[in-house]
Structure 1
């Protein structure tokens, strides 16, 4: 087995309701995974049920209908779209396509931990650079072959300023902008793929469209990069069911925009209410989650688990100092329960 396998850490997806039920005997709400808490559109439900009668069939190998739907959604050419089994699959394919041994991959922190794992698996040279609150400054980015940006960033929640992205792109090196959460703020740079051949934008259907259980992602970039990504993706990597459902989701985007407005309103309410609680500081966010700093070590994530609420404990994540938790914006009822529970803890 390759030595790097013994060096890397397995990706930590956090705890799930099944884990809490086993450990505490409690039914828990999951405010850890940044999922959409609301049900899918009627069109999505109908597409799912209809597709079940064809699960004995492969999807079209080129995913032409799916790419056409994405093209119409974003206003980009189909030739600039590559698909994958979730954004993580796309990110892996990008590393396979672009990184050779000892190539420099730069990862600003605090950020999404999967980038480093994928880069290390390519035997790339990984350089982390810390930006407090993920306030990216183009002039402070060191030389690189591949740069990973997350916008809005996980876990801090803020989007990277467009002017900084453009300044970095002007260097001519490859830049990945992970926009898994961008529909919550409409601060996309996907239009810049028409201006910069070195830009690759990665998107997901797991967050805004609420299809986390189906694993659907895609990339947008120049035709040469996209051709490469399409060459190396595994055949039939998205099931026919998932593909049909994703197309239905794109066709019912108005429904999801309304849900987005609800989530954003609840997010802002969460931030306001959490900031009233002693020892807690919630940062502003452009995403569907909120990063919270705990001013003294109290193991807040554990205290919430014991009361049936799962949040992501990001204490110890590179680039974060002190205790932090990341909280997904849930339904109004879930958020009410969270706020009530936090207030009952008497943290001061």
Structure 2
């Protein structure tokens, strides 16, 4: 058998739907002001960087993760104010892994996963890879929940798993809690409140979790300031979390990642200051964008702003040519027509964004 035939035979063993899809796109930000993936732009102070380096140097890399991840789970439970009785927390290698585990947990013939749209794309991708049917229910044009449409879809589809991004990505808004509670009450299966942007929001879903046993709250340390460490966590009633824990790879969080996360939690005041600075910058940038003709900026409770411009592709390209990288989300859903998503950066980065955007709008004669 020649090389071409051998490769073709090997590829034929890969699922057809996998071969037909595309990998999740990640843009290169080398040399650019990077405002595209909702990272915390601040690094640790130099003294803490040195302390962290020394601490990581003492980690036993010859041992599998065990006690460190258990300690991290306990520390995160305290950090999140998880009730000590009747509740549990499990760890993921980022929220993406937890989404995959949740899909696996409900994967049986006929099961449906549901989410409002537009929202985080991994809900649908994970469902697809588990051969589950994904049902997306469009938001209203103002990106609020369409309660009637959601209730009708829940009654018709009976989803095993309903995701509610809280606040939502990429729109940034925090939906009405009374509407969310009515959707929870109507849902027959699990309801996951995805709180990736909780450090920047004015409220969280722990109260909903305590009032409704079916509710799980999912968070990440990525927006906390540890995007490179890849720590996600899922909280809820112990009986439910234990089922997901069964599916978790036993050593999915490395000893280095666990130790770095523990160190960060010991210095959580530093990260709280960073989150407060980013919230203030979000409001400043929102006000500045409102002053630009042809730019519509939407309210946000995350560390990003969604804006609509006359020509998203041209503005994206103009910003990139001027050294600023953001995210063009206009092709993700019809409701996001001509929309761009801007991560909140440090003041100097946000000013660079504003200057580049003003110059781009002038050059393109937009408006």
Give your verdict on TM over 0.5.
Answer: yes
More displaced stretch, 176-185 vs 132-141: 132-141
Note the 1:114-193 alignment, pairs <5 A. Answer: 114-132=122-140, 133-141=142-150, 142-143=153-154, 144-171=159-186, 172-193=188-209
Q: Contact 2:329–2:339 (CA<8 Å) still a contact in 1? A: yes
Change (3 A) 1:67 1:276: same
Question: 3-state DSSP class of the match of 2:222?
Answer: coil
1:96 is aligned to 104
User: Is contact 2:278–2:303 with CA below 8 Å preserved after alignment?
Assistant: yes
Asked if 1:249 is matched to 2:258, the reply is no
Distance 1:278 1:344 in 2: 12
Show CA shifts across 1:200-226 (max 9, x none).
11100001x211111111001111221
Matched, 1:202 2:202: no
Distance 2:117 2:309 in 1: 19
Q: Which runs of 5+ in 2 are unaligned?
A: 1-13
2-structure distance, mates of 1:57, 1:125: 40
C-alpha distance 4-265 of structure 1, shift in aligned 2 (>3 A):
same
Residue 319 of structure 1 deviates from its aligned partner by 4.1
Q: SS at 1:279's partner residue?
A: coil
The corresponding residue for 1:29 is 33
Q: How do residues 1-348 of structure 1 correspond to structure 2 at under 5 angstroms? A: 1-13=14-26, 15-18=27-30, 27-40=31-44, 43=48, 46-54=51-59, 55-60=61-66, 63-77=69-83, 79-132=87-140, 133-141=142-150, 142-143=153-154, 144-171=159-186, 172-207=188-223, 209-296=224-311, 299-345=314-360, 346=362, 347-348=366-367
Give how far 1:278 is off.
Answer: 1.9
Q: Specify the structure having the higher radius of gyration (Cα).
A: 2
CA distance change for structure 1 residues 319 and 202 in 2, over 3 Å: closer, same or farther?
A: farther
Deviations 1:36-66 (A, max 9, x none): 0111265575234312332333221682211
Query: For residue 21 of structure 1, what is the aligned residue in structure 2?
Result: none
In the TM superposition, structure 1's runs of 4+ consecutive aligned residues that sit over 6 Å from their partners are none
Partner Cα separation in structure 2 for residue 44 and residue 220 of structure 1: 30
Change (3 A) 1:230 1:62: farther
Describe the superposition over 1:242-280 as per-residue Cα deviations: whole angstroms up to 9, x where unpaired: 111212222222222211111111111111111211211
Runs of 5+ unmatched residues, structure 1: 19-26
The two structures, once aligned, show a CA RMSD in angstroms of 1.9
SS of equivalent to 2:353: helix
SS of structure 2 residue aligned to 1:254? helix
Q: 1:62 to 1:344 in 2, by over 3 A?
A: closer
Count of residues in Structure 1 that have an aligned counterpart in Structure 2: 338
Counterparts of 1:312 and 1:298 in 2: how far apart (Å)?
Answer: 10
The answer as to whether partners of 1:8 and 1:120 remain within 8 angstroms in 2 is no
1:213 alignment partner, SS class: coil
Cα distance in 2 for partners of 1:36, 1:321 equals 24
Larger helix percent: 2
Cα 1:168–1:286 shift into 2, 3 Å: same
**2: CA distance between counterparts of 1:52 and 1:101?**
48
What's the CA shift for 1:173?
2.0
CA spacing shift, 1:238–1:161, aligned 2, 3 Å: same
Shift of 1:297: 5.4
